[in-house]
């Protein structure tokens, strides 16, 4: 009898243990954080068995009293935690309605973003082409962990080729989630972009694992204009606006792509202090890839860069070449490397406080053509050499490493850290703190007056005016209004903002009316305003017009 009872007890214990082992859930990926904003975050993880989802969270580790739940039975858990306070640390755990699977300790926390538009010292870690899943990538990772110590990483970017060589689920597992970046994934939002190895230039059609593994903002939920797609998106962190473009998908790079329409609108809505754009294929490189030859790089330089510079981008980040390359403060260089001229380099120094001095940009906020720094940071997993001699670059090196950005109010400090933890490059950009400009005092006609042409034609030269200060120095960023005051014609623009050379212009196209036409350019409160341009519309069979006469008015002291 006793033996029978003992047997039954043993059997029950065995059954209980067996049941626990057989039915225990296990986290097979994550947890990892996505789309962190000032009021919400997405927590993701994967389990080996289907279950419902629960995130427990709270500002005290000992009291995770709040929960976000999803009753759907799944292995891929995607839980949005909302109703959060800005710039606040929350501890969390993940699991199901019946079990906690991970978290609830010091390591599992997230820090919400500051209120959009407000400034807060921000640290950003940037990896490019890190997907080798080997000890080189781990050395780069450990060097950064050592460098940052207890300083929290507010967010991190991956610049594409995040998992070699095809971006498959198993490759992502090894290159990102297993024995790789777990410590960072559980506490900082990751914002990736797609590389050529993530979409596999392979024969496999259909969506790539990249889009299943990551949750990215497509409805403007993290700031910026909604893109409607995870292929390209924008988000804000405090006073920084980030733009992620897709350079890998050919259809999206096409001249008439919706990506460009979206980018134009997103940039037009941006009023943050800093604008940082990133995508995989860099516009300037002479590393293991050549931006003079490869279509992805040419497309992005010719289509993305002019838009971004016209809207005041500060920093453009790319990978693809497995090297580190960093440019001068650059503007309007859209051709091949051989076409670079002095006018494209707004500051040819090294950008270092202890060297030639920080790069300075006059305006805090988006201002056209005040210069941007271009970086290739594609050596977080391997190096592949190249001539490394692109003329826009201050420095180019075939070294493993990652990039660290520290942004505080109007100052950006960038550090390239190699795999041994040595700082190999630094530069600083300061915005809005340069010598204050004198106010504009006068408006001057520069050229374009006295032209004539047939009705219906466009005059060959623009009407150009210049805004100057009391010392006759040009004044930029002043809106000049052009208006037709006599005749039937149209203007290419009725308002033009002066550039760094103080000049603004418009072009006139005659309508069907012959005779004298007049256009005024005005800026209220300035001496010389309004300036009047005269032109003559001729019958089509009239004698050819005389060459245009350029008038330049001498101003006292000029």
Residues at the site binding other proteins, with contacts judged by CB under 8 A: 196-197, 201-203, 205-207, 211, 218-220, 225-231, 251-252, 257-259, 261-262, 265, 268-269, 271, 288-290, 293-295, 311-312, 363-368, 432, 477-483, 494-497
Integer angstrom CA distances of residue 180 from 30, 39, 168, 461 = 11, 28, 16, 60
56 or 285: whose CB is closer to other proteins? 285
Q: How far is the CB of 430 from other proteins (least distance, A)?
A: 15
Q: What does residue 382 show for φ and ψ, rounded to 5 degrees?
A: -165, 165
DSSP state of 304: I
| Residues recorded for the chain | 558
Q: How far is the CB of 295 from other proteins (least distance, A)?
A: 5
93 or 285: whose CB is closer to other proteins? 285
CA pair distance 497, 291, nearest whole angstrom: 32
Q: Three-state DSSP class for 444?
A: strand
- The answer to whether 473 touches 556, Cβ cutoff 8 Å, is no
Q: How far is the CB of 60 from other proteins (least distance, A)?
A: 34
95 or 462: whose CB is closer to other proteins? 462
Burial-class residue 472 by CB neighbours within 10 Å (0-12, 13-18, 19+). Answer: middle
Q: How far is the CB of 481 from other proteins (least distance, A)?
A: 5
Q: How far is the CB of 219 from other proteins (least distance, A)?
A: 5
Residue with tokens 């150009």: 464
353 or 488: whose CB is closer to other proteins? 488
DSSP state of 301: I
51 or 246: whose CB is closer to other proteins? 246
Helix ranges (DSSP H) in 275-386: 295-299, 305-310
Q: How far is the CB of 548 from other proteins (least distance, A)?
A: 25
CA 483, distance to chain mean position in Å, is 37
234 or 405: whose CB is closer to other proteins? 234
Q: How far is the CB of 161 from other proteins (least distance, A)?
A: 9
185 or 276: whose CB is closer to other proteins? 276
Burial-class residue 439 by CB neighbours within 10 Å (0-12, 13-18, 19+). Answer: exposed
195 or 528: whose CB is closer to other proteins? 195
Nearest CA to 109 among 134, 94, 91?
91
Q: How far is the CB of 162 from other proteins (least distance, A)?
A: 15
What lies within 8 Å, CB to CB, of 526 at 6+ separation is 440, 441, 442, 443, 467
The verdict on whether omega for the bond into residue 176 sits within 30 degrees of 0, i.e. cis, is no
Q: What does residue 550 show for φ and ψ, rounded to 5 degrees?
A: -95, 135
Q: How far is the CB of 105 from other proteins (least distance, A)?
A: 35
CA pair distance 184, 156, nearest whole angstrom: 9
Q: How far is the CB of 265 from other proteins (least distance, A)?
A: 5
Q: How far is the CB of 96 from other proteins (least distance, A)?
A: 26
Q: What is the 3-state secondary structure (H, E, C) of 451-470?
A: EEEECCCECCCCEEEEEEEC
276 or 475: whose CB is closer to other proteins? 475
27 or 364: whose CB is closer to other proteins? 364
CB atoms near residue 523 (< 10 Å): 21
- The answer to whether 297 touches 289, Cβ cutoff 8 Å, is yes
Tokens found for residue 92:
């969390």
95 or 319: whose CB is closer to other proteins? 319
Q: How far is the CB of 269 from other proteins (least distance, A)?
A: 5
CA pair distance 215, 34, nearest whole angstrom: 6
Question: Read out DSSP for 49-77?
Answer: EEEEEEEEEESBTTB--EEEEEEEEEEEE
187 or 197: whose CB is closer to other proteins? 197
- The answer to whether 506 touches 496, Cβ cutoff 8 Å, is yes
Burial-class residue 13 by CB neighbours within 10 Å (0-12, 13-18, 19+). Answer: exposed
51 or 162: whose CB is closer to other proteins? 162
Q: How far is the CB of 230 from other proteins (least distance, A)?
A: 8
């Amino acid at each position: 009898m006793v033996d029978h009872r003992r047997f039954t007890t043993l059997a029950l214990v065995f059954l209980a243990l067996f049941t626990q082992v057989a039915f225990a859930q296990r986290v097979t990926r994550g947890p990892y954080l996505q789309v962190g904003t000032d009021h919400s975050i997405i927590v993701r993880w994967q389990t080996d068995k289907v279950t419902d989802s629960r995130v427990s969270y709270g500002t005290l580790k000992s009291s995770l009293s709040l929960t976000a739940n999803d009753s759907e039975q799944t292995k891929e858990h995607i839980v949005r935690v909302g109703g959060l306070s800005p710039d606040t640390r929350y501890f969390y755990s993940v699991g199901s309605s019946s079990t906690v699977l991970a978290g609830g300790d010091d390591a599992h926390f997230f820090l919400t973003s500051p209120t959009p538009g407000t400034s807060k010292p921000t640290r950003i870690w940037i990896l490019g082409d890190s997907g080798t899943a080997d000890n080189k990538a781990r050395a780069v990772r450990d060097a950064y962990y050592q460098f940052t110590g207890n300083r929290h990483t507010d967010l991190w970017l991956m610049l594409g080729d995040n998992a070699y060589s095809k971006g498959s689920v198993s490759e992502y597992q090894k290159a990102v989630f297993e024995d790789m970046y777990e410590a960072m994934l559980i506490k900082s939002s990751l914002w990736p972009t797609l590389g050529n190895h993530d979409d596999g230039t392979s024969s496999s059609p259909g969506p790539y694992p990249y889009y299943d593994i990551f949750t990215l903002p497509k409805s403007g939920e993290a700031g910026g204009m909604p893109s409607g797609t995870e292929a390209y998106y924008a988000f804000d962190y405090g006073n920084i606006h980030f733009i992620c473009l897709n350079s890998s998908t050919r259809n999206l790079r096409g001249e008439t792509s919706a990506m460009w329409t979206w980018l134009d609108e997103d940039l037009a809505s941006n009023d943050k202090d800093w604008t940082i754009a990133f995508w995989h294929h860099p516009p300037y490189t002479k590393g293991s890839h050549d931006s003079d030859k490869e279509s992805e790089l040419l497309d992005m330089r010719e289509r993305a860069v002019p838009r971004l510079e016209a809207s005041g981008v500060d920093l453009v980040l790319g990978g693809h070449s497995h090297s580190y390359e960093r440019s001068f403060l650059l503007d309007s260089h859209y051709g091949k490397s051989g076409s670079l001229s002095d006018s494209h380099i707004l500051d040819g120094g090294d950008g270092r406080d202890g060297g030639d001095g920080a790069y300075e940009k006059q305006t805090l906020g988006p201002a056209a053509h005040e210069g941007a720094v271009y970086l290739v940071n594609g050596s977080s997993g391997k190096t592949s050499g190249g001539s490394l001699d692109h003329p826009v670059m201050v420095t180019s090196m075939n070294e493993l490493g990652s990039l660290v950005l520290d942004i505080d109010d109007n100052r950006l400090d960038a550090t390239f850290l190699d795999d041994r933890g040595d700082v190999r490059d630094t530069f600083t950009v300061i915005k809005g703190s340069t010598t204050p400009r004198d106010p504009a005092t006068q408006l001057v006609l520069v050229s374009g007056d006295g032209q004539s042409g047939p009705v219906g034609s466009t005059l060959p030269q623009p009407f150009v005016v210049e805004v100057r200060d009391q010392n006759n120095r040009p004044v930029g960023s002043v809106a000049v209004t052009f208006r037709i005051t006599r005749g039937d014609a149209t203007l290419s623009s009725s308002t033009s903002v002066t550039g760094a050379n103080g000049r603004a212009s418009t072009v006139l196209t005659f309508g069907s009316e012959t005779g004298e036409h007049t256009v005024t350019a005005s800026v209220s409160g300035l001496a010389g305003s309004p300036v009047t341009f005269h032109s003559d519309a001729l019958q089509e069979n009239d004698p050819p017009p005389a060459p245009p006469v350029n008038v330049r008015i001498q101003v006292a002291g000029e």
